Amino acid sequence: MKRLRAALLRLTGLFGKQSRERELADELEAHVQMHTDDNIRAGMEPAQARRKAMLGLGSMEATRQAYRERSTVPLIENTMQDLRFALRQLRKHLGFTCTAILMLALGMGASVAMFAFVDAALIKPLPYQNPTRLVEATESIALFGRANLSHLDYLDWKRLNEVFSSLDVYTGSGFLLNTPTGTEPVPALKVTDGFFRTLGVVPMLGRDFYAGEDRPGASRTAILSYASWQRRFGGNRDTIGKTVSLGGNPYVIVGVLPKEFHFAPGGRTEFWVTDHADDSCEKRRSCHNLVGVARLKDGVSIEAALANMQSIAKQLELQYPGDNRGQGASVISLSEAFTGDVQPILLMLLGGAGLLLLIACVNVSSLLLVRSENRRREIAVRGALGASPARLVRQFITESLVLVAAGSALGVAAADGAMHLLVSLISQDQMSNMPFLLGLGMNRHVLAFAAVVALLAAILFSLTPLIRLRLNAVQEGLADGSRGSAGTVWRRFGANLVAVELAMTVVLLVGAGLLGKSLYRLMQVNIGFQPDHLATIHVVLPEVGYEKNEKVEAFAAEALAKTSALPGVRSAGIINILPVSSNGNTDWIRFVGKPYHGEHNEVNQRDASPDYFKTIEAKLLAGRYFTNDDDAARPLAVIINQSLAKRYFPGENPIGKKIGDDDLTPNSIKQIVGVVADVRDGSLDSQLMPAVYYPFSQDPDTFFALVVRTSQTEQSILPLLTATIHQIDPRAGTVDQGTMAEHVSASGNLHRSIAWVVGGFAALALLLSIVGLYGVIAYSVSQRTREIGVRMALGAQRGTVYRLILTEAGWLTMIGMGVGLVSAIGAATLVSNLLFGIRAWDPPTLAGAAALLSIAALAGSYLPARRAASVNPVEALRIE
């Protein structure tokens, strides 16, 4: 209690220092007076009496000091003093301060922003119960490591496995929702009844699906996503029990999912319905349309689960040699399934940002080193006046803390801005596949990361000047204060720092070069058609009313006829899946008259209308395009791509040959009527695959893309396309309208974003390290002015001086470049998966980075070299 009271009083003592000092002075004066009075009374001379009184009081200064320390908290008092001094120092060297803070903020901003992405995607657990025990279980084939699961296989897996406490499946879907403003296609996911129980997610409103609710013939029920509930139903609690029309069928809403729930493969899924396993695909073991989600039993590892599933897959392969040949199993953690693709990218970007941060820190350190060099005299004077070494050290720590605090505050603000900027650069589609990024922001993890970085920077910046300062060498400091000898420590240490910095810059430059070149190569990829002047729109027909193929075909024919007649339209075509989307939607084919051993000839399967190839301007290599006569009434026709022709008909003319399904079922036999040059079905960086095209009218689907070539701008035709579709049937939905050029370009979006971000890092790194190099060389020149003066006085030419300085810079650059190139190859090898069409040790890129750095380094060191060469020897010598 007593202590507390005293401590509080001392804290308040930090204020009102002046009045307290005056009061003490008064009190001491009174003391001396009274003592003097007494002494006089005792018979002393007045002067003698006062002197005696003063002596009795002892050292006045010591008393004052003791009193002062007692009346406040010396630590705080001193810190405040240090702080004031630090601020004054920093203000006096505004250029230094601003540069240091800006560089720090830049490094912090970049790395904190990148960490926030890493945190949101890779660190933050998925919003399910005990998410680390969840796995994705799928089949696996030679072509795709993770391939869909067929319904019958799923049932066997569920029955036979010994490693999952539960196994459920989902499959992507979509519905046409009737809204007051018309029909709207909405994304949906079909799941088995136990799906949410496996995830450990309980609806926040209403109920989960009952067990058995996924049986054929069970009533149609739906669970809403939180966003959909808010948007479409205004967040009303009485939404439960309401009926919505999905694709023309009534569904009863039974639940609403929690707000924080997300499921990356489902994207922006609004409706979750049970999969009644009643379509034709789910009756065939060879039709793969499901993805499994399972919860591991306690104590079962992912490896053990994989082994179990692989043995089951083997068993099924023996049991169903036709359907299950080559169908293995894949089990990976659910988080890997969701974020496996972006993980290496995010880690690479975090690494890049880390390098930038390091460069910034090194730069600030070397600036501090230069400053400590210049402050040796000040330190020596303070030391001579009695400042303790601890106090001097504290001064440096205080200054670095001020720098770091300002830099960090600015950096965190910059990171926040950068995050928003980067998120706004991610397209809606990409974002919907990465719902975990919605949690991006300045949360505790991110702030803790920023704090740790700031702490490390503060330690680094406090230590840097200390390395330089030998605090006890007061005399030396005083003596050589004005002498122009560059400290050897500085030469050795500061120079090395700059070489390190240059090396890191080379790594980033090479990285940016490789990624940029990858992007360029990606954009140069031959897609096999002309994407300009093509407008595209996806059409979704309702289930009800389009049960019969003829209806769908009639709609398609009318849509083609009407859009072809639109002004400016040169031709129009229909394809079930746009090119440059993804490989998949495959078919197993077999060739009539060729030996067959039960292998699965897996090829991409697409459905195209007669004018499709003409519209996209794909090249016909042999045979003919489809015609309007290739309809349901005629023999089945097929167009194959060049890859298929090369692989399965080497040296043969494939026209007229026949293909069928694995069993060559009579009604599956189709005749090859044409060969087209490869049109890239998958993304730009994917492999070309053999493909078959069936006439749309012989294999119609209620979901297809309409592709229109126009002589005008693509944008101007888009509204007309939508209007035309709705004119034919107002219940038809349209989605994803856009241009083919955008669609193709979007396939390179990921590469583009990475290239831009790393390019940005590299540019900043180059700027920072050249500033660093300039600083080092300029400082060296300023320290060597006298030496240069002497050299010139002794007859050195200006050219010699140039060479002297540029050699110094050249050495640093060479060392930095050498180390940097080697590290860059190493770093690029680590991320070689992200490169496209280029090796990690691409010589032109390495040479380009080296050349860029050399030019920049030359520019950075030219200015100080010129200053050195223009030194006037007479003045240089006189200054000293």
Partner 1 sequence: MNGKTDVWQGTLALMALKTIESLGPLHGYGIARRIEQTSGNVLSLNYGTLYPALLKLEQEGSITAEWGLSENNRRAKFYKLTRAGRRQLEREAREWERVTEILARFLSPSGDPA
Residue 258, both tokens: 């929690």
The helix/strand count (H/E) of the chain reads as 28, 22
β pairing state of 328-333 and 182-191: unpaired
* 3-class DSSP state of 822: helix
Of 6 and 211, nearer to partner 1 (C-beta) is: 6
For residues 686 and 604, give the distance between their C-alpha atoms in angstroms, rounded to a whole number. Answer: 13
Which residue, 532, 576, 574, is CA-closest to 745? Answer: 532
Which run of H or of E encompasses 243? strand 243-246
Give me the sign of the Cα torsion angle 88, 90, 91, 92: positive
| C-beta of 35 vs 606, nearer to partner 1 | 35
Backbone phi, psi, residue 93, to 5° = -110, 65
Nearer to partner 1, 70 or 237 (CB): 70
**What is the DSSP code (8-state) at residue 120?**
I
The answer to whether 269 and 188 have CB atoms below 8 angstroms apart is yes
- Which DSSP helix (H) or strand (E) runs through 134? strand 134-140
Task: Pick the closer one to partner 1 by CB: 65 or 165.
Answer: 65
Cβ closest to partner 1, residue 3 vs residue 597: 3
Beta carbon nearer to partner 1, 13 or 513: 13
Q: Which is nearer to partner 1, 69 or 341 (CB)?
A: 69
DSSP secondary structure, 446-492, as one string: HHHHHHHHHHHHHHHHHHHHHHH--TT-HHHHHHHTT--PPPHHHHH
Q: How is residue 175 written in tokens?
A: 């519905």
d(CA 580, CA 578): 7
**Min CB(7)–partner 1 separation in Å:** 9
Where along the sequence are the contacts to partner 1 (CB under 8 A)? 2-3, 5-6, 9-10, 23-24, 26-28, 30-31, 33-35, 37-38, 56-60, 62-63, 66-67, 69-71
Asked if 273 and 190 count as a contact pair (C-beta separation under 8 A), the reply is yes
Q: Give the residue with the Cβ less far from partner 1, 70 or 84.
A: 70
Q: Which is nearer to partner 1, 74 or 598 (CB)?
A: 74
SS3 state at 626:
coil
- Could you tell me the smallest distance in angstroms from the CB atom of residue 5 to partner 1? 6
Q: Which residues partner with 829 through β-bridges?
A: none
Q: How far is the CB of 393 from partner 1 (least distance, A)?
A: 27
The residue assigned the tokens 């009579």 is: 666
Residue 19 or residue 870: which is nearer to partner 1 going by CB? 19
**Residues present in the chain in total:** 880
CB of 785 to partner 1, least distance (A): 53
Nearest CB to partner 1, comparing residues 26 and 429: 26
Residue 865 CA to residue 625 CA, distance in Å, equals: 71
Helix (H) / strand (E) containing 607: strand 601-608
Comparison of 15 and 210: residue with beta carbon closer to partner 1: 15
Which residue is associated with the tokens 């078919």?
587
Strands 703-710 and 586-591: unpaired
Report how far residue 139's alpha carbon sits from residue 157's, in angstroms, rounded to the nearest whole number.
10
Nearer to partner 1, 63 or 716 (CB): 63
| Residue 247 region by backbone torsions, left for phi larger than 0, else alpha for psi between -120 and 50, else beta | left
Please identify, using beta-carbon distances, which residue of 22 and 647 lies nearer to partner 1: 22
CA–CA dist 228, 273 (Å, integer): 14
Smallest distance, partner 1 to C-beta of residue 15, A: 15
Nearer to partner 1, 39 or 140 (CB): 39
Nearer to partner 1, 6 or 851 (CB): 6
The torsion region of residue 137 among left (phi > 0), alpha (psi -120 to 50) and beta comes to beta
Interior/surface letters 699-724, b for 16+ CB within 10 angstroms, e for the rest: bbebebbbbbbbeeebeebbebbeeb
Q: Dig out the tokens for 444 from the structure.
A: 């505790």
> CB of residue 10 vs partner 1: minimum separation in angstroms?
7
Q: Of the candidates 494, 464, 347, which has an alpha carbon nearest to the alpha carbon of residue 404? A: 464
Three-state secondary-structure class, residue 510: helix
Neighbours of 165 (CB within 10 A): 12
- DSSP for residue 536: E
Q: CA nearest 280: which of 216, 185, 220, 365?
A: 216
Whether 348 contacts 342, CB under 8 Å = no
